[in-house]
Structure 1
Amino acid sequence: MERTRRVKIVTGLKCNIRCVFCYYRDNLDAPNRDMGDILRDVAYAVRRGVKEIDFSGGEPTVHPDLPRLIAEVKQQGINRVCIITNGWRLAERSYLKQLKEAGLDEILFSVHGHTGEIHDTLTSTPGSFNRLLKALGNVTAEGLILRTNTVVNSLNVHDLSGLGRLLLEYEPAQVNFITINDWCFAKHLVDKLMVRYSEMAPALRGACDLLAPRIAAVNVRYIPFCFMQGYERHVCNHRQVSSDPYEWVPRVRARLEEGTSVWRYLGILGYGLFACGALWSLGRNSLADILDQSVVEGLRRWFYTKRDECGQCQYRELCDGVENTYASQFGLDELKPLPGSAITDPVHFRSGAQMCCRSGTGEA
């Protein structure tokens, strides 16, 4: 499968809504980043082979220089520009047209419910669902590529089929279901919204059944494989990231992640290289691949855990296990290892699927 050449570039943590599970909930009033700083991140990424960018925040549409940023990065050799957005400002079609004229190719919407009651509760912003629907319609009318993210949590887990039916109306190129996690920044926010994998898995499998016949790329991110038997091709955990063209280059993302210092980055690399075994790939893989593997393995070993019995599971090389926070809240008894020879190819289940939809019409 194609290796990803995409990365996230943060425009600042400032946002115009307040999602209850946001990683950066305590920093959403921070100022936008200076355009020069953002372009330096872009240049760093370009030097490392990045060809596609997701502008993210916070909320990138609150940055006053976003149209200029889009135009500038296109001039720097970026082939595809996407924004990750809550859709509030894109309800204004004139603004969307301005971004399109600057060179915007793609929009990744955060869609957290199929009704105003669910979505507005999760965004803490009345009217956000109605504006999102208008934005989805505008993007479809303008012919831009549309993708979606949904954070699966206790408030929407039983309505994923309704969400799927809503999304099908707009024919997205990709649908991502992201199991709720604290990702180190939001431990004090997500506990009440976390839900057991055993509870969410049937709803996720049902949503995949509904969406997969019409949408080439349907992903469930960060879930143990044992909950998705028969649906493994939809699972995208850390080991699958490098081979997903819509995901972010690990070694570049880790360096540019908000709040990551040079020393923290070097610590992640060192941990992955020496403690997690990536060093043994020297001579067999390129330096870039080794650095990517170091970041992935560092994150997997640092923040995730498994049952001892998982060491005999056929998924043991592909599966992250569960986050430490999840384990502390729910334990590990749900994990059901499937004994067998280890599957070592990260895209063993995904290589036959159309995981890379490269236009809004489903062209591969």
Structure 2
Amino acid sequence: HCEFCYYLDKLDQKTSYDTIKKRIDILHSYGIDEVDLSGGESSIHKDWFKILDYCNDKFKNISCLSNGSVFSNEKFLLKSKEHGLKEILFSLHGYNEEVHDDIVGRKNGWKKINKAIDLCNKHDIRVRINCTVYQKNYSGLIAYADIIKKIKPFQVNFLTLNYWDDNKTFEPIDDYNKLTDNIKRCIDLIVDDVKYINVRYTPYCFMKGYEKYVCNQYQHVYDVYDWNKEIYDYDIDVTKTYTHNQKIELGYAKARHDRLTDYKKSLACFKCKYFYICDGIEKQLDMEVYPQPGDKIRDVNHYRKDFYL
């Protein structure tokens, strides 16, 4: 029930077990060996354990996205682990109970997600964190850092608010400079406690000195711990066999499509060294950009070549 959810108007829609199996088969046929289950909240599906079992026969690693509600039940968490669940990507958006519960629209959301995270750490289930950053929480990212330092998750993803799908008309960010400055301060505080940190879908000119953390559309193609862009829509012919380079090309085509669909660049961007590797700003936003002088960088992994070493 997060107010910025891409699927807020579709939460009453349920995907059948047979449809989920078909999607799993497509992913497996394409050669994917790790799967991330999402929903909304995939763990509340009535066939949750059957889904895990079906995935467990095909993938070496199963993870899911969660608000933590059902995984705050230790028995449910342990049963999920027995059926193959190895990691959970938690949506932890608030820096205290009041803010978090307001964002997720759920009373006791803060208590449940923190209990679920503690249980995961207790039972050796890998913890990753998503934090959507916008007006309601960017001012509290210093306090958020203290929470992250205690959790010590494997990965933290800061997602500056995306205006996608059902979220296209959401209120624009009020001060993008303050937002990204606070993300950078938070990174400085947690960098020794988190293995991987990403700042997703953010213009490079706001992240000067922190470019290696930026993961935009084209960087996403190489992101080890996120979804394969090219198969989002399940429309690839999986009767064919694809080489690694062919899969990269398909990922590039999807990244290009998404960039052209959702983003824009001002005339000032054409003078910037980040021009080719940066998505620009989302079409719903109207804000100043800060072009950086220098030769234009063409390698989308210029700042992330050693990121996963």
Q: 1:343 aligns with which of 291, 297, 302?
A: 297
**Alignment partner of 2:111: what SS?**
helix
Counterpart in the other structure of 2:240: none
Of 298, 304, 308 in structure 1, the residue corresponding to residue 267 of structure 2 is: 308
Do 1:305 and 1:323's aligned partners in 2 also have CA atoms closer than 8 Å? Answer: yes
The answer as to 2:45 corresponding to 1:63 is yes
1:8-19 equivalences in 2 (<5 Å): 18-19=1-2
Q: Deviations over 1:6-42 (max 9, x none)?
A: xxxxxxxxxxxx11111111121223x1111101111
Q: Is the Cα–Cα contact under 8 Å of residues 60 and 84 in structure 1 kept in the other structure?
A: yes
TM-score, structure 2 as length reference: 0.94
Amino acid at match of 2:202: I
**Whole-Å separation in 1 of the counterparts to 2:81 and 2:263:** 40
Look up the match of 1:119: 100
SS in 1 for 2:151: coil
Q: How far, CA to CA, are the matches of 1:224 and 1:250 in structure 2?
A: 19
Q: Which residue of 1 aligns with 2:175?
A: 196
Gaps of 5+ in 2: 238-243
Q: Retained in 2: the 8 A contact 1:91–1:135?
A: yes
* Equivalent runs, 1:203-214 vs 2, <5 Å: 203-214=182-193
Q: Show the 5 A alignment for 1:24-63.
A: 24-31=7-14, 33-63=15-45
In structure 2, the residue corresponding to 1:64 is in which secondary structure? coil
Q: Secondary structure at the match of 1:169?
A: helix
Name the CA distance, whole Å, in 2 between partners of 1:41 and 1:88. 25
- Taking the aligned partners of 2:115 and 2:247, their CA distance within structure 1 comes to 42
TM-score by length of 1: 0.80
Which range moves more in the overlay, 60-69 or 109-118? Answer: 60-69
Structure 1 regions of 5+ residues with no counterpart? Answer: 1-17, 257-261, 267-284, 356-363
Corresponding residue of 1:279: none
CA distance in 2, matches of 1:249, 1:237: 13
Aligned with 1:108: secondary structure?
Answer: strand
Matched, 1:175 2:156: yes
Amino acid at match of 1:141: K
Deviation string 1:124-155 (CA, Å, 9 cap, x unpaired) is 11111111111111111111110000010101
Is 2:210 the counterpart of 1:231?
Answer: yes
Q: Is the 8 A contact 2:153 2:193 kept in 1?
A: no
What amino acid is the match of 1:74?
Answer: N
- Rounded to whole Å, the distance in 1 between the matches of 2:298 and 2:192 is 28
Write the letter of the residue equivalent to 1:291.
L
The 4+ residue runs of structure 1 with deviation greater than 6 A are none
Aligned to 2:54: 72
- The answer on whether the counterparts of 2:264 and 2:282 sit within 8 Å (CA) in structure 1 is yes
Matched, 1:184 2:180: no
Larger CA deviation: 336-345 vs 201-210: 336-345
**Shift of residue 352, structure 1, vs aligned partner:** 2.5
**Separation in 1, partners of 2:4, 2:57:** 36
Task: Give the Cα–Cα distance (whole angstroms) in 1 for the partners of residues 164 and 174 of structure 2.
Answer: 15
Number of equivalent positions: 303
The alpha carbon displacement at 1:196 in A equals 3.1
RMSD over aligned Cα, in angstroms? 1.6
